[in-house]
Amino acid sequence: MFFLYNLLTVFTGFLLKIVALFNHKISLFVKGRKTVFNTLEQHIQPQDKTIWFHSASLGEYEQGLPVMEKIRKQYPDHKIVLTFFSPSGYEIRKNTKTADVVVYLPLDTTGNAKRFVKVVHPEMAFFIKYEYWPNYLKELKKAGTPTYLISGLMRKKQVFFKWYGGFYRKALKAFTQFFVQDNSSKELLQSIGLHNVSISGDTRFDRVSEILERDNTLPFIEEFKNNKITMVAGSSWPKDESMFIDFINSSNNTKFIIAPHNIKAEQIEQLKNSITKKTVLFSEKEGKNLAEYEVFIADTIGILSKIYSYADFAYVGGGFGTSGLHNILEPAAFGIPIVIGPNHQKFPEAIAMIHMGGCIAVKDKKEMEETLSSLIYDDDFRNEKGHIAGTFVHMNRGAVDRIISNINN
């Protein structure tokens, strides 16, 4: 099985080089891996002490960040090595100050894994949420490196829990400790004989709680809001936008901020053209009296969490498509109600918040418009839902401390 896995990995690497000729994202994926070992060898000496964190993409990085920050404080003499699998994580966070070296993770071949572990020689390794690479885990185990999964989330559909998943189950034995989000994940791991499992919760609750402690001021958003009820649609896709654009066009005395997931010029133009209200883009805001506008489109990245601080309620995108629900915890941390689409079953935080009442899932355009209308015009309804959302985030903090405490013991 290991032979077939390695053969498939090598073939995939070859295939990706061909696809890279026609796909920009895959091109970044392939080109970014060409210099990984040179970069590592330039920045890591044999005498250096290192700790390795690996995340698939940006979302997992955000999940692991509070643990990374704590580890850096506890081990100031160690170099932090951060790897990403996806360009969407690496390209945005390649200059983060939290790590000393940031690179792509080379494909999981036997040769790459051996070379990587030899060059980096980590004293500890942390994988975040979903990443399980058999060759890397095998080499870490051979090296005797304490290896941890943080904010792990297990599902019955995963290969580990299938009759044919023996090869992958064996790879999981490399983990020193599994820190999982919920009891269901713990029970699934125990069902395959893995008992080194702790329910730590989701580190994202700690991460988003830290947002409240920073300066979230955006003067241009404050000017735009102009003390009016404001809805923020964060990380929206066209399918999401089709559910609320007509509502925006027919609304009065309400402000709307849309921060699309995709900020390509042609998509922003299409979105703007679908809106009949007076609309301004972030890129066009200079010199304008923003209070006169009814819709603000954030055609930029990096400010959404601050924008949420001005929201009276938020719609979080992804729930009407198949790409996955985006982060609902950031707006919830500010104590505002959250509205999402129907495709949220893979997100335990959404299910739990819906059950508590701080998040509202709508299944179609009619339900969307009814819910948004209630949140605008019923102050008690809006305030109650927002209080529940904020409380939900507050009561679920502490995962980072539980993880660090377990590791130190």
Residues tagged active-site = 60
CA 202/CA 349 separation, integer angstroms = 9
Q: What one-letter code names the amino acid at 409?
A: N
Instruction: For residue 236, give both structure tokens.
Output: 């929206």
Look up tokens 């997931």; give the residue.
Answer: 261
CA 304/CA 283 separation, integer angstroms = 15
Exposure class string for 303-327: b at 16+ Cβ within 10 A, else e = ebbbbbbbbbbbbbbbbbeeeebbb
From the number of C-beta atoms within 10 Å of its C-beta (0-12, 13-18, 19+), residue 6 rates as middle
Look up tokens 């819709």; give the residue.
Answer: 295
From the number of C-beta atoms within 10 Å of its C-beta (0-12, 13-18, 19+), residue 371 rates as buried
Q: How many helices (H) and strands (E) does the chain have?
A: 19, 14
Which run of H or of E encompasses 281?
Answer: strand 279-281
Q: List all residues 6 or more positions away from 277 whose beta carbon is below 8 Å from its beta carbon.
A: 248, 249, 251, 256, 294, 295
Max Cα–Cα distance, the chain, nearest Å: 65
Instruction: For residue 405, give both structure tokens.
Output: 């405490």
Least Cα distance to 330 among 279, 407, 390, 272 occurs for 390
